[in-house]
Amino acid sequence: MKRIFIFTIILLSNNLLVKANIDSEASKMFFYNNEFGVIVIEGNDIMLTNDGCNSWTTIKINTQEKLRKVFFSSIDVGWIIGDSTIYKSLDGGHTWSKNITFERTYLHTLYFTNENKGFVGGEIVNEQGVDNLLYKTDNGGNSWDKANVDSVLGNGTSDFSFFQDSLGIAVGYNTLYKSYDSGMNWNKLPINFYVGSFSPGRVQMIDANNILLFGGSPHVVWDGEILMSNDSGLSWETYGNGQIFVWGINDYFAYNMDSVWVTNGEKIFITTNKGINWKTMDIRIEEFSFISNNRAYGLSENSILYTENGWESYSIVDSVLVGLEQNEEIKYIYKLYQNYPNPFNP
């Protein structure tokens, strides 16, 4: 097992930082449970289902910004980020209002641990270049306070993950930050990723000690990789057998340290033994939303997929997810395919 040694490198310019080819803006699809889900589609519309994809309602959001991430902290309270604005819904996504706009910013990620406590991360463009944006709310977005960071996060914040609400980790493109007080103060971990090596994009805390870090490295093409830590982020090593995901990591789901799903947009990769062995499924999914360790929805180029057994088999919703009129209801037909062994011809 290859070890990743901890060291510090001084970068002469922020322009040297390399952004990981992992989609930190994934979550254009979010399913709160088996019945209720939301998808961001072209034209800054969203589609809502309350019956497990049997029918959809299209909702128009009045904005010129590109909507990139949706998250529901409860079945009623939802959040969407655009380029620099956060939008909030209090009625299950049927109506949306502007919550806050950050000047000269580019938002990357949004995360709520409950209905009141949330975080937004991104980057701020100023006279000195690009700086970090990391804000926190404790009152459901009524006010946002800048979090205290003990050093510069590089080109902004790309992802958050929390364990039991109080212990958090944030990705700052070339390094990582840890919070022990519910995200008000963030301390830099003793690691820097240098140009041309592994570049982090997203992170998931499994428990207080075990963390998975998803990113990649530039080779002939961009290769997705996973690192793991079992000492709360102080040291890192390759996950399992060092599996490489050609073209990067579009999305992932980690049920625990043993069971992980990854999609690169062309195939789904599954491990149930901590990355020692991987099963490859010929299913084209850009991202997925897991409801449990077995049940999940997946978003392909023009369709929604659904599985009840961790992608061993799946159903396809035959629908083009663009150009729908506001409040139009669309009925979908399901077709069932057995994926193993590989009858699906992408």
**pLDDT 10s digits, 171-220:** 987 789 999 999 999 998 888 776 567 888 899 999 999 999 999 887 76
User: How much is the average pLDDT of 106-126?
Assistant: 90
Cα distance between residue 167 and residue 124, in whole Å? 25
- Which residues have a Cβ under 8 Å from the Cβ of 57 and sit 6 or more positions away? 47, 48, 49, 94, 327, 328, 329
What is the share, in percent, of the chain residues with pLDDT greater than 70? 81
pLDDT number for residue 192: 78
Q: What does the angle CA 83 – CA 65 – CA 43 come to, to the nearest 5 degrees?
A: 135
Cα distance between residue 266 and residue 53, in whole Å? 23
Omega into 200 within 30° of 0, i.e. cis? no
Q: What are the tokens at 221?
A: 């093409």
Cα distance between residue 98 and residue 65, in whole Å? 12
pLDDT number for residue 2: 41
Average pLDDT, the chain: 81
Least confident of 31-45, 78-92, 184-198: 184-198
- Answer yes or no: are the C-beta atoms of 272 and 235 closer than 8 Å: no
pLDDT number for residue 172: 80
User: How much is the average pLDDT of 283-289?
Assistant: 92
Least confident of 78-92, 119-133, 238-252: 119-133
At the topology level of CATH, where does 26-157 sit? Methylamine Dehydrogenase; Chain H (2.130.10)
Cα distance between residue 25 and residue 299, in whole Å? 14
**Is residue 155 very low, low, confident or very high in pLDDT (cuts 50, 70, 90)?**
low
Q: Which amino acid is present at 36?
A: F
pLDDT number for residue 85: 97
User: How much is the average pLDDT of 258-281?
Assistant: 96
Cα distance between residue 183 and residue 113, in whole Å? 11
What is the share, in percent, of the chain residues with pLDDT greater than 90? 56
pLDDT number for residue 303: 85
- SS3 at position 42: coil
pLDDT in tens, 307-338: 999 999 998 874 545 433 333 333 333 333 33
pLDDT number for residue 124: 85
pLDDT number for residue 336: 33
Q: What does the angle CA 262 – CA 266 – CA 270 come to, to the nearest 5 degrees?
A: 30
pLDDT number for residue 42: 74
pLDDT number for residue 199: 83
Higher pLDDT, 323 or 74: 74
User: How much is the average pLDDT of 215-226?
Assistant: 84
pLDDT in tens, 46-72: 999 999 888 889 999 989 899 989 999
Identify which of 21-35, 66-80, 142-156, 330-344 has the greatest average pLDDT.
66-80
| Distances, alpha carbon 188 to alpha carbons 54, 123, 150, 223, 282, in Å | 46, 17, 7, 26, 39
pLDDT number for residue 152: 63
- Which residues have a Cβ under 8 Å from the Cβ of 36 and sit 6 or more positions away? 48, 49, 50, 72, 75, 92
pLDDT number for residue 11: 31
**Is residue 33 very low, low, confident or very high in pLDDT (cuts 50, 70, 90)?**
very high
pLDDT number for residue 230: 96
pLDDT number for residue 307: 94
Cα distance between residue 3 and residue 10, in whole Å? 21
| Residue the block writes with tokens 């299913």 | 283
